[in-house]
A and B are shown apart, each in its own frame.
Chain A
Amino acid sequence: MALNPAAVRRDLPYLRRRVKAPVPAPTPAPAPAPASAEPPAAPTSSVPSGGLSLARPSGGGTGLDLGARSSPAPQSAGARPAAPRASGAPGGTPRSTPAAPRGRPARPELPGPFPAPAIGDVRELGTEEPVLRLNARESAIGSLIVSGTSAVAWETTDLIAGAAYADGGTEGTSVSTTGNRALVGYDGPDAIVSLRHLHRLRRALFIGAASGVIGVQLFDGSSFTVSTPNGSPLFVLSLLRVGNLIEFRAEPVTREATPAQLHREFGFSMTPHLTAREPRRR
């Protein structure tokens, strides 16, 4: 059975970055832009890709097609399917529009996530207001700073899981980013999430210290807390990435639970850490 006949999953915004087909060698002697009055070379038609295809084979088979495609890619340079134009009256468009219909495929109208308060709407997560969602900008800029925690656990999109403790201990596998920083980890007393690499993170779990208040701060200084007054259940803060958005949820747990028990309860299975070493040479 074909896994997914669609060329691009447009319902998943964070997967929509378009990977271009190889560009054929430019036509000889193109004129410099400012001095040129010549029109540019017409967009060339795409070259059929020889890569892995998940499309349903034309012969009716059910396996993966590892050979060359029998037909050109559906979204090729210069031959994109028609789509409704953007807003703006055609008569007011400064540039003339081409006669042939063009544009990107229409974005499917998908239901958004269920309504949830934004960070400015809620100052404290708890029993009354357990959920909060950041927007795309808040979810991606700078560092997410979480204070008042004793442990943090993470799970990446490729299911690498680990945990770090405020006392310096670690468990599982740490994940480093291209900026030479931990994707999730401690920096002094604060747990930090590198939001530049949000797309690598699947979820995280912040466990509060015994004293009680977890504080979360964003790049722009906006913040909220998770409070666990005496007599109430202890709350842990769960972070879940939903597409390109971060969703926080305060989850009640028993006060007696240890971090390791909470990790298991929330389904974090720590990835054994393998220490890299030089290969043996004879």
Chain B
Amino acid sequence: MATLISGANAALTAENPGLEDVLVGFGWEVIPSRGPQAELVPLAIMCGADDHALSNDHLVFFNQLESQDGSVVFATGTDVEEIDVDLALVPTEVAKIAFLVYVDPDVRGATDFSAVRSAYVRVATRDGRELVRFDLPLGDNRSVHAMLFGELYRHRDDWKFRAVGQGYTSGLAGVAKDFRIDL
């Protein structure tokens, strides 16, 4: 298992010949509160070579559990949330799959990462063997409402994973603008 830092990347298929599908697992802890509590939601966005979402349908989250091609699917497993990616089924026009987590923007409060601790994203094989892990450096995140945890991307004929950890103070509106999706 390799632990990544922000900006680092790891070769997945090149170092693991025969790797055809991976599990992307997310985890976090939220400091308990008697009042409204932050609710984190993972989001996978399938992007083209221009780093923009191919379409609004190339977005996978809890209310759109599967991409149309069936390559990116929400699953229930040992992590807080898990997304399965069948690399061989990912359409060729998809150059990158970005994995974000946003705090649900409920108008009744608790919509930032300030109460979030021990957040991570990890990539594992189908049988659970962890390949890479990225523990997000969470400092003062009172103004962060969404965060790009990492991304799977094509590199020549292979797939790599990059740890990012970039926060969005503009929340989902900023995510929508960056990836050109309607949210």
Chain A residues proximal to chain B, CB less than 8 Å: 13-14, 16-20, 23-24, 26-27, 30, 32-41, 43-44, 77-78, 83, 85-89, 92-95, 97-98, 102-104, 107, 135-137, 139-143, 145, 177-181, 187, 192, 194-196, 198-199, 219-220, 244
Contact of B127 among A38, A41, A136, A141 (CB under 8 A): A41
Of B20, B128, B156, B173, the contact of A94 (CB 8 Å cutoff): B156
Complex Cα–Cα for A45 and B180 (A): 41
Chain B nearest CB from A70 CB (Å) reads 25
Provide the bound-state CA to CA distance between A44 and B128, in Å: 11
Main secondary structure of the interface of A (DSSP, over half): loop
6 contacts between A and B (CB under 8 A): A20-B75, A33-B1, A41-B127, A136-B63, A142-B105, A143-B106
Residues of B near A37 (CB, < 8 A) are 15, 17
Q: A32 to B74: give the CA distance in the assembly, Å.
A: 26
Q: How many residues of B contact A (CB 8 A)?
A: 69
Find out whether the CB atom of B65 lies under 8 angstroms from the CB atom of A16. yes
Contact of A32 among B1, B34, B39 (CB under 8 A): B1
Q: State the Cβ distance, A138 to closest chain B Cβ, in Å.
A: 9
CB distance from A34 to the nearest CB of B (A): 5
Pair A86/B70 contact, Cβ less than 8 Å: yes
**Nearest residue, chain A, Cβ from B66:** A16
Q: For residue A44, which residues in chain B have a CB less than 8 angstroms away from its CB? A: 127
Residues A180 and B13 in contact, CB atoms below 8 Å apart = no
> Which residues does B use to contact A, with CB under 8 Å?
1-2, 10-13, 15-20, 33-39, 41, 56, 59, 61-66, 69-71, 73-78, 84, 86-93, 104-108, 110, 125-132, 154, 156-159, 172-173, 182-183
Closest residue of chain A to B104 (Cβ to Cβ) is A196
Compute how far the CA of A95 lies from the CA of B159 in the bound complex, rounded to whole angstroms.
9
With A and B bound together, what is the CA distance between A143 and B39 in angstroms? 13
- Flag if A181 contacts B64 (CB, 8 Å): no
The CB with the most chain B CB atoms within 10 A, among A23, A34, A35, is that of A34
Asked if B88 contacts A178 (CB within 8 A), the reply is no
**CA A83 to CA B68, docked complex, whole Å:** 13
